[in-house]
Amino acid sequence: MVELLIITALVLWSAVVVFKKVFPKTANSVFMSLSNSCSKQGWSTLAKWLKPAAVMGCGGSCGCSSDESDSPKKIEVQAVKWK
């Protein structure tokens, strides 16, 4: 019985992750409507957890990050000078 609950939770979590990756705009609208309905019920913590992150930059789903942190800089390879 416990194994069934664990497998069900993993499958549901995987389905949500794939849904967010494949259909980002639809996922944002679905999670925003769920967040709004939870806030109407008075469940503010759940509403904050379900609310999608604000899209920044190019509009999302293109591979660029939505946070302000800098991407790691690549170190240029320099030639070795022999004496």
- pLDDT of 15 reads 93
- pLDDT of 79 reads 82
* Alpha-carbon gap, residue 29 to 8, rounded angstroms: 25
State the DSSP string of 1-48: -HHHHHHHHHHHHHHHHHHHHH-HHHHHHHHHHHHHHHHHHT-HHHHH
For residues 21 and 9, is the Cβ–Cβ distance under 8 A? no
Q: Is the pTM of this model over 0.85?
A: no
Confidence of residue 71 (pLDDT cuts 50, 70, 90): low
pLDDT by residue (tens digit) across 34-56? 999 999 988 888 888 888 887 66
